[in-house]
Chain A
């Protein structure tokens, strides 16, 4: 189910624009508020829903199984490390869920731009950026040449 923005609650901070992996959260040129430019391309990861400090982004159900009258609302509480979901069905039933959103302090994860640019040697290596340090291990497991066999074993 794709996301949408309550324009009256959005304060135009741009957190959703930063976090959207599909790059479909953009800023409306008339009101300078966020909006989902293409719900069909939404991965439904809900990163924007969880990232919005104003609780201004919600989930729009597909009409086939979530017809008019339903609502899905989200409350993020950074200080409690929780995200709460309130699902309201068309017949009035309600379901409430509380989940831990993360286990480390808010803002403690470094963004890509906080890391140093990789050297040419690092770019030529088989490892991905910041491996193995970023994985908190000394070395990535790898097969040695003598462990490799030709053909089907």
Chain B
């Protein structure tokens, strides 16, 4: 099961072109949602103002090499290892979800476009990576959803009392969970059950990518840019924070 392409089996009741068109529609939905979100919150305007303010307040001018070094550090620390989180458990959970989501997404696109039917055999590594991605996503996601959400862990809210901030995690978990269940059900050969679970998978996936305007999916694009800008501000002396203390004040 882990090494067979679940999308190739879909051809029994769904032409490959349908799934390909669906993926293109989801990409368009993410682009529209992100642009809409940016316009609604004026985040682009706010970010430009912040950049100009930081440039005016800078005490040292950074060279191209400095900026390249900051960009590498941003990718290595803030993006690749979720360095912004001070809570270790949240950091691990986020890393699991981040890489799980990337594997899940990229391998889905590869399988749907390059290996849409059994006529073109799928290398075992691709569905395996898809399954690893789904499992990482489920472990990190349910860990976060059940135990680490700050409104539940610190603010005393009930686990299943959902708030607007849960839109992203709930649709993400719904998509990954039903993808995994659909893959299992499909191996049993029960076509009716397969169609139902596949329908739920598509429903949650559509909600996930169609709700970018209201969810926090777009943070995948914004966060690295803001993290880089913060590093530039610190390095150029434009940060409004106090300078680090000279030495230990401990007596």
Contacts and interface: CB of A to CB of B under 8 A. Distances in A.
B250 interface: yes
B231 interface: no
Interface string A95-125: 0101111010000000000000000000000
B120 interface: no
Interface in B40-55: none
Interface residues of B, number: 28
A135 B176 CA distance: 53
A153 to B, nearest CB: 43
Given A32-B165, A80-B248, A86-B241, A17 B155 contact: yes
B154 to A, nearest CB: 3
Contacts of B150: 12-14, 17, 27, 32, 34
Interface stretch (B82-90, B109-117, B204-212): B82-90
Given A26-B155, A85-B242, A99 B164 contact: no
B240 A71 contact: yes
Interface in B219-251: 226, 240-251
A84 B243 contact: yes
A2 interface: no
B240 A86 contact: yes
Interface in B63-121: 84-87, 90
Question: At the interface, is chain B mostly helix, strand, loop or mixed?
Answer: loop
A32 to B, nearest CB: 4
Contacts of B245: 75, 77, 80, 82, 84, 98
B52 to A, nearest CB: 16
B242 A13 contact: no
B153 interface: yes
Nearest to A26: B155
Nearest to A104: B250
A22 B219 CA distance: 32
Interface in A1-55: 8, 11-14, 17-18, 26-32, 34, 53-55
Contacts of A71: 240
A25 B90 CA distance: 20
Nearest to B86: A53
Nearest to B247: A80
What size tier do the contact residues of chain A reach?
Answer: 35 or more
B153 A14 contact: yes
Contact of B86 (A27, A31, A54, A82): A54
Contacts of A82: 245, 248-249
B90 to A, nearest CB: 7
Nearest to B169: A32
A82 to B, nearest CB: 4
B85 to A, nearest CB: 6
B56 interface: no
Contacts of A30: 163-165
Nearest to B161: A29
Query: Which 8 pairs from chain A and chain B are nearest by CB?
Result: A14-B154, A84-B242, A29-B163, A86-B242, A100-B249, A32-B165, A53-B86, A82-B245
Interface of A: 8, 11-14, 17-18, 26-32, 34, 53-55, 71, 73-75, 77, 80-82, 84-86, 88, 96, 98-101, 103
22 contacts: A11-B84, A12-B150, A13-B86, A14-B154, A17-B150, A17-B155, A27-B154, A31-B216, A32-B149, A54-B86, A73-B240, A74-B241, A77-B245, A80-B245, A80-B249, A81-B248, A84-B242, A96-B242, A98-B242, A98-B245, A100-B251, A103-B251
